[in-house]
Amino acid sequence: MASAPSSCSTGGTGAGGLHLPDTTRELVKILVAGPFGVGKTTLIDSVSEIRPLHTEEHLSEASVAVDDLAGVRDKTTTTVAIDFGRISLEAGIVLYLFGTPGQERFRSLWADISHGALGALVLIDSRRIDDSFDVLGLVEESGLPYAVALNTFPDARTYTEEQLRRSLDLEPGTAMVVCDARDTNSSIDALLALVQQLIAGHAATAAAAGPAAAPADATGSGTGPIPETW
């Protein structure tokens, strides 16, 4: 599976200051989605240039019946609202990363969290492919462009890209990459794959619309930047 080269001005937890760089041109809201225990919080931790915001609670006995710990037996906490981080890329693009809860009981939060987002990075775990379908369905229903990142786990079986695409029923144009959510560069590569897909998607839309189409912003979204207050 392809991977984009890392292109980031700052990265890793706490690597940058609280204030946006002077070179900032576009602010882009991105969702980091995926099923329970797939590594969303870990990915945001690994790339955020500010101290990430987490809304985690310890798993309780009451959640045993609804939170399937198969494959994630060591997990002791879960996100109950959002994770939030920020990363600055080249060309003045800043990504605001919103990690979404992975359990069905938090589905009602989706519309609020996804409002204003330009795309989603969907993490999957090849040991639990079936767990990805509900999240992929939510993303597709919302109409958000998305890329898929296979988060690697030591005990996971190896599958070809074709096998994974067929299992997930992905469209041919959907980017798919392999990443290690614990690794900063690997996680940045996954985010870049999504950004490149957004740019390519806008370019195709603009070409189909003809010369009268609105000019693209730096992200290629054509929708303009996301305000600092959203």
Q: How confident is the model at residue 230 (pLDDT cuts 50, 70, 90)?
A: very low
Average of pLDDT values for 186-204?
A: 94
**pLDDT of the residue at 77:** 53
Report the alpha-carbon distance of residue 23 to residue 28 in Å, rounded: 14
Which structure tokens are listed for 71?
């494959």
Q: What is the pLDDT of residue 225?
A: 42
What is the arithmetic mean of pLDDT over 150-172? Answer: 94
Of 158, 204, 195, 157, residue with least CA distance to 175? 195
Region 181-202 average pLDDT: 95
For residues 136-141, average pLDDT: 92
Q: What is the pLDDT of residue 31?
A: 97
Per-residue pLDDT at 215: 53
* Separation between Cα atoms, residue 201 and residue 195, nearest integer Å: 10
Instruction: Tell me which amino acid residue 141 is.
Output: E
pLDDT value at 64 more than 60:
no
Question: According to the model, what pLDDT value does residue 72 have?
Answer: 45
Percent of the chain with pLDDT over 70: 70
82-118 residue pLDDT tens: 899 999 998 899 999 999 886 666 677 888 889 999 9
Cβ within 8 Å of residue 54, ≥6 positions away = 41, 79, 83
| Beta pairing class for 119-124 and 146-151 | parallel
How much is the pTM?
Answer: 0.76
